[in-house]
Amino acid sequence: MSPAGGRTLLEVAVALKTRRAVSGESRVVLRDVGFSLGEGEVCALLGPSGCGKTTLLRLIAGLDKEFEGAVTLPARRRIGMVFQEPRLLPWRSVAENLRIAGAPPGKDLDAIVATLGLAGHLDHFPGELSLGLARRVAIARAFAIAPDLLILDEPFASLDAILARRLRTELTSLVERLRSTTLIVTHDVDEAISLADRIVVLSPAPGRVIADRRIETPRLALTPEAAADIRAELAAMMAAAHGG
Ligand SMILES: Nc1ncnc2c1ncn2[C@@H]1O[C@H](COP(=O)(O)OP(=O)(O)OP(=O)(O)O)[C@@H](O)[C@H]1O
Does residue 50 have its Cβ closer than 6 Å to ligand 1?
Answer: yes
Confidence of residue 106 (pLDDT cuts 50, 70, 90): low
**What is the DSSP secondary-structure string of 172-217?**
HHHHHHHT-EEEEEES-HHHHHHH-SEEEEEPSSSB-EEEEEE--S
Answer yes or no: are the C-beta atoms of 14 and 68 closer than 8 Å. yes
Amino acid occupying residue 183: L
Does residue 206 have its Cβ closer than 6 Å to ligand 1?
Answer: no
pTM of the model: 0.89
| Residue 9 forms part of a structural domain | no
Ligand 1 pocket test, pick from 22, 53, 58, 184 with the greatest ligand atom count within 8 Å of Cβ, gives 53
| Residue 206 forms part of a structural domain | yes
Report the distance separating Cα 42 and Cα 196, nearest Å.
Answer: 5
Answer yes or no: are the C-beta atoms of 227 and 194 closer than 8 Å. yes
pLDDT digits (tens, 9 = 90+) for 15-69: 999 999 888 899 999 999 999 999 999 999 999 889 999 999 999 999 999 999 9
Does residue 47 have its Cβ closer than 6 Å to ligand 1?
Answer: yes
Cβ neighbourhood burial of 51 (10 Å; 0-12, 13-18, 19+): buried
Range of the domain at 199: 39-67+147-242
| Residue 87 forms part of a structural domain | no
Does residue 18 have its Cβ closer than 6 Å to ligand 1?
Answer: no
pLDDT digits (tens, 9 = 90+) for 141-187: 998 888 899 999 998 887 888 888 888 888 888 888 888 899 999 98
Does residue 53 have its Cβ closer than 6 Å to ligand 1?
Answer: yes
**CATH number of the domain where residue 187 is located:** 3.40.50.300
The answer, yes or no, to whether ipTM is higher than 0.85 is yes
| Residue 210 forms part of a structural domain | yes
Ligand 1 pocket test, pick from 17, 18, 20, 51 with the greatest ligand atom count within 8 Å of Cβ, gives 51
Answer yes or no: are the C-beta atoms of 228 and 222 closer than 8 Å. no
